[in-house]
Amino acid sequence: MRMKEIGKLALRALFIMIVANVLTMAFASAVLAELRWLAIVMTVLLLAALLYIAYLDGASNGRKDRMFQATMEKQEADRGVSPTEQERSRFFKPQKGFAAAYLAAAPGILLSLLMLFVPQGSTFYADMTPVVRLFLGMYLGLYEYVESLTPYIYLPLSLVLPTVYAFGYLSGPGLYEKMMKQIEESKRKRRRRRRKKTPAAGAEKK
Protein backbone atom coordinates (compact mmCIF):
# COMPACT_ATOMS: atom_id res chain seq x y z
CA MET A 1 0.00 0.00 0.00
CA ARG A 2 1.85 3.06 -1.28
CA MET A 3 1.83 6.36 0.58
CA LYS A 4 1.05 8.09 -2.71
CA GLU A 5 -2.38 6.44 -2.91
CA ILE A 6 -3.04 7.10 0.77
CA GLY A 7 -2.01 10.72 0.18
CA LYS A 8 -4.47 11.09 -2.69
CA LEU A 9 -7.31 9.74 -0.60
CA ALA A 10 -6.20 11.88 2.35
CA LEU A 11 -6.40 14.99 0.17
CA ARG A 12 -9.94 14.06 -0.77
CA ALA A 13 -10.84 13.54 2.88
CA LEU A 14 -9.18 16.84 3.79
CA PHE A 15 -11.26 18.59 1.13
CA ILE A 16 -14.45 17.21 2.70
CA MET A 17 -13.30 18.40 6.14
CA ILE A 18 -12.59 21.89 4.81
CA VAL A 19 -15.99 21.98 3.11
CA ALA A 20 -17.58 20.93 6.41
CA ASN A 21 -15.91 23.82 8.24
CA VAL A 22 -16.77 26.33 5.52
CA LEU A 23 -20.43 25.28 5.43
CA THR A 24 -20.63 25.52 9.21
CA MET A 25 -19.21 29.05 9.12
CA ALA A 26 -21.69 29.93 6.37
CA PHE A 27 -24.54 28.82 8.64
CA ALA A 28 -22.99 30.31 11.77
CA SER A 29 -25.87 32.74 12.26
CA ALA A 30 -28.26 29.77 12.36
CA VAL A 31 -26.28 27.46 14.65
CA LEU A 32 -25.60 30.38 16.99
CA ALA A 33 -29.15 31.73 16.87
CA GLU A 34 -30.53 33.41 19.99
CA LEU A 35 -33.52 31.06 19.90
CA ARG A 36 -32.11 28.04 21.69
CA TRP A 37 -34.40 25.49 20.01
CA LEU A 38 -33.51 26.83 16.57
CA ALA A 39 -29.80 26.70 17.32
CA ILE A 40 -30.08 23.10 18.54
CA VAL A 41 -32.14 21.97 15.55
CA MET A 42 -29.81 23.65 13.04
CA THR A 43 -26.72 22.27 14.76
CA VAL A 44 -28.06 18.70 14.71
CA LEU A 45 -29.26 18.94 11.10
CA LEU A 46 -26.02 20.48 9.88
CA LEU A 47 -23.83 17.93 11.67
CA ALA A 48 -25.96 15.06 10.34
CA ALA A 49 -25.72 16.43 6.80
CA LEU A 50 -21.95 16.94 6.99
CA LEU A 51 -21.32 13.47 8.39
CA TYR A 52 -23.57 11.96 5.72
CA ILE A 53 -21.61 13.78 3.00
CA ALA A 54 -18.35 12.48 4.47
CA TYR A 55 -19.73 8.92 4.56
CA LEU A 56 -20.93 9.10 0.95
CA ASP A 57 -17.61 10.47 -0.30
CA GLY A 58 -15.70 7.75 1.52
CA ALA A 59 -18.06 5.13 0.10
CA SER A 60 -17.65 6.51 -3.41
CA ASN A 61 -13.86 6.25 -3.20
CA GLY A 62 -14.06 2.75 -1.74
CA ARG A 63 -16.35 1.69 -4.59
CA LYS A 64 -13.96 3.14 -7.19
CA ASP A 65 -10.99 1.32 -5.69
CA ARG A 66 -12.92 -1.97 -5.61
CA MET A 67 -14.06 -1.45 -9.21
CA PHE A 68 -10.48 -0.83 -10.34
CA GLN A 69 -9.36 -3.94 -8.47
CA ALA A 70 -12.06 -6.06 -10.13
CA THR A 71 -11.06 -4.73 -13.57
CA MET A 72 -7.40 -5.60 -13.00
CA GLU A 73 -8.25 -9.05 -11.63
CA LYS A 74 -10.45 -9.78 -14.65
CA GLN A 75 -7.67 -8.64 -16.97
CA GLU A 76 -5.27 -11.01 -15.21
CA ALA A 77 -7.72 -13.92 -15.41
CA ASP A 78 -8.66 -13.34 -19.07
CA ARG A 79 -5.33 -12.28 -20.58
CA GLY A 80 -2.75 -13.30 -18.01
CA VAL A 81 -1.60 -9.71 -17.57
CA SER A 82 -0.63 -9.19 -13.94
CA PRO A 83 -1.22 -5.76 -12.38
CA THR A 84 1.89 -3.69 -11.68
CA GLU A 85 2.87 -2.77 -8.15
CA GLN A 86 1.57 0.74 -8.76
CA GLU A 87 -1.76 -0.62 -9.98
CA ARG A 88 -2.01 -2.94 -6.97
CA SER A 89 -1.56 0.07 -4.70
CA ARG A 90 -4.85 1.38 -6.08
CA PHE A 91 -6.73 -1.75 -4.98
CA PHE A 92 -9.26 -1.53 -2.20
CA LYS A 93 -7.73 -2.14 1.23
CA PRO A 94 -9.73 -1.60 4.43
CA GLN A 95 -6.82 0.08 6.21
CA LYS A 96 -6.38 2.60 3.41
CA GLY A 97 -9.57 4.45 4.33
CA PHE A 98 -8.57 4.77 7.99
CA ALA A 99 -4.98 5.77 7.20
CA ALA A 100 -6.09 8.46 4.75
CA ALA A 101 -8.89 9.84 6.92
CA TYR A 102 -6.77 10.11 10.07
CA LEU A 103 -3.89 11.59 8.10
CA ALA A 104 -6.21 14.31 6.80
CA ALA A 105 -7.51 14.97 10.32
CA ALA A 106 -4.04 14.84 11.91
CA PRO A 107 -3.72 18.61 12.65
CA GLY A 108 -7.00 18.67 14.59
CA ILE A 109 -6.19 15.41 16.38
CA LEU A 110 -2.70 16.54 17.41
CA LEU A 111 -3.96 19.91 18.62
CA SER A 112 -6.69 18.16 20.61
CA LEU A 113 -4.07 15.94 22.22
CA LEU A 114 -1.90 18.96 22.99
CA MET A 115 -4.77 20.69 24.77
CA LEU A 116 -5.00 17.79 27.22
CA PHE A 117 -1.57 18.71 28.59
CA VAL A 118 -1.92 22.51 28.60
CA PRO A 119 -2.86 23.96 32.02
CA GLN A 120 -6.36 25.40 31.91
CA GLY A 121 -6.39 29.08 32.74
CA SER A 122 -2.96 29.66 31.24
CA THR A 123 -2.39 32.24 28.52
CA PHE A 124 -1.28 29.51 26.11
CA TYR A 125 -4.53 27.61 26.74
CA ALA A 126 -6.55 30.75 26.02
CA ASP A 127 -4.57 31.42 22.85
CA MET A 128 -4.84 27.85 21.57
CA THR A 129 -8.57 27.38 22.20
CA PRO A 130 -9.67 29.43 19.14
CA VAL A 131 -7.11 27.58 17.00
CA VAL A 132 -8.39 24.16 18.03
CA ARG A 133 -11.98 25.23 17.51
CA LEU A 134 -11.08 26.55 14.07
CA PHE A 135 -9.74 23.13 13.06
CA LEU A 136 -12.89 21.59 14.51
CA GLY A 137 -15.10 24.29 13.05
CA MET A 138 -17.96 21.99 12.11
CA TYR A 139 -18.82 21.73 15.83
CA LEU A 140 -19.22 25.50 16.19
CA GLY A 141 -22.83 25.23 17.35
CA LEU A 142 -21.99 22.47 19.82
CA TYR A 143 -19.39 24.17 22.00
CA GLU A 144 -21.97 26.10 24.01
CA TYR A 145 -23.43 22.83 25.29
CA VAL A 146 -20.14 21.01 26.00
CA GLU A 147 -18.10 23.86 27.45
CA SER A 148 -17.74 22.08 30.78
CA LEU A 149 -16.19 19.08 28.99
CA THR A 150 -13.38 21.01 27.33
CA PRO A 151 -10.58 20.32 26.62
CA TYR A 152 -11.37 16.58 26.97
CA ILE A 153 -14.16 16.72 24.40
CA TYR A 154 -11.86 17.98 21.63
CA LEU A 155 -10.17 14.64 20.98
CA PRO A 156 -13.37 12.60 20.55
CA LEU A 157 -14.78 15.33 18.31
CA SER A 158 -11.63 15.37 16.18
CA LEU A 159 -12.04 11.63 15.54
CA VAL A 160 -15.72 11.61 14.53
CA LEU A 161 -15.50 12.89 10.94
CA PRO A 162 -12.44 10.85 9.87
CA THR A 163 -13.97 7.72 11.43
CA VAL A 164 -17.23 8.24 9.54
CA TYR A 165 -15.25 8.81 6.32
CA ALA A 166 -13.23 5.62 6.91
CA PHE A 167 -16.35 3.53 7.53
CA GLY A 168 -17.84 5.01 4.37
CA TYR A 169 -14.76 3.79 2.49
CA LEU A 170 -15.24 0.33 4.03
CA SER A 171 -18.74 0.18 2.55
CA GLY A 172 -17.34 0.71 -0.96
CA PRO A 173 -17.11 -2.99 -1.94
CA GLY A 174 -20.71 -3.52 -0.86
CA LEU A 175 -21.81 -0.65 -3.10
CA TYR A 176 -19.79 -2.10 -5.96
CA GLU A 177 -21.39 -5.54 -5.56
CA LYS A 178 -24.83 -3.93 -5.42
CA MET A 179 -24.09 -1.96 -8.58
CA MET A 180 -22.92 -5.09 -10.42
CA LYS A 181 -26.06 -6.98 -9.37
CA GLN A 182 -28.21 -4.13 -10.70
CA ILE A 183 -26.30 -4.17 -13.99
CA GLU A 184 -26.74 -7.96 -14.32
CA GLU A 185 -30.43 -7.68 -13.47
CA SER A 186 -30.84 -4.98 -16.11
CA LYS A 187 -29.11 -7.19 -18.70
CA ARG A 188 -31.37 -10.14 -17.82
CA LYS A 189 -34.47 -7.99 -18.22
CA ARG A 190 -33.30 -6.79 -21.66
CA ARG A 191 -32.59 -10.36 -22.74
CA ARG A 192 -36.06 -11.47 -21.60
CA ARG A 193 -37.67 -8.62 -23.53
CA ARG A 194 -35.72 -9.55 -26.66
CA ARG A 195 -36.74 -13.22 -26.35
CA LYS A 196 -40.40 -12.20 -26.04
CA LYS A 197 -40.17 -9.99 -29.13
CA THR A 198 -38.38 -12.57 -31.28
CA PRO A 199 -41.20 -15.20 -31.36
CA ALA A 200 -43.75 -12.46 -31.98
CA ALA A 201 -41.72 -11.18 -34.94
CA GLY A 202 -41.43 -14.72 -36.37
CA ALA A 203 -45.20 -15.24 -36.10
CA GLU A 204 -45.88 -12.06 -38.02
CA LYS A 205 -43.64 -13.19 -40.91
CA LYS A 206 -45.61 -16.46 -41.20
pLDDT in tens, 60-112: 999 999 999 999 998 888 888 888 888 888 899 999 999 999 999 999 999 99
pLDDT band for position 184 (cuts 50, 70, 90): confident
Q: ∠159-53-175 over CA atoms, to 5°?
A: 100
CA–CA separation, 139 vs 87, rounded Å? 38
Q: In 10 A of CB 34, how many CB atoms?
A: 6
pLDDT band for position 34 (cuts 50, 70, 90): confident
Provide mean pLDDT across the span 147-176: 94
In the prediction, which pLDDT does 143 show? 85
Note if the pTM is more than 0.75. yes
Is 168's pLDDT higher than 90?
Answer: yes
Q: Is 50 exposed, middle or buried (0-12, 13-18, 19+ CB in 10 A)?
A: buried
Is 202's pLDDT higher than 60?
Answer: no
CA–CA separation, 172 vs 153, rounded Å? 30
Number of domains in the chain: 1
Burial 132-167 (b: 16+ CB within 10 A, else e): bbebbbbbbbbbeeeeeebbebbbebbbbbbbbbbb
Whether 200 maps to a domain, the answer reads no
pLDDT band for position 3 (cuts 50, 70, 90): confident
Whether 49 maps to a domain, the answer reads yes
- Residue 81 DSSP label: -
In angstroms, how far is CA 71 from the centroid of its own chain?
A: 23
Whether 193 maps to a domain, the answer reads no
**Mean pLDDT lowest among 23-37, 113-127, 151-165:** 23-37
In the prediction, which pLDDT does 204 show? 54
Whether 51 maps to a domain, the answer reads yes
Whether 111 maps to a domain, the answer reads yes
Phi, psi torsion values for 5, nearest 5 degrees: -70, -35
Whether 18 maps to a domain, the answer reads yes
In the prediction, which pLDDT does 107 show? 93
Domain that holds residue 103: 3-181
In the prediction, which pLDDT does 123 show? 94
CA–CA separation, 142 vs 163, rounded Å? 19
Q: Is 168 exposed, middle or buried (0-12, 13-18, 19+ CB in 10 A)?
A: buried
CA–CA separation, 17 vs 109, rounded Å? 13
Whether 71 maps to a domain, the answer reads yes
Which pLDDT tens digit goes with each residue over 137-147?
Answer: 888 888 888 88
Whether 149 maps to a domain, the answer reads yes
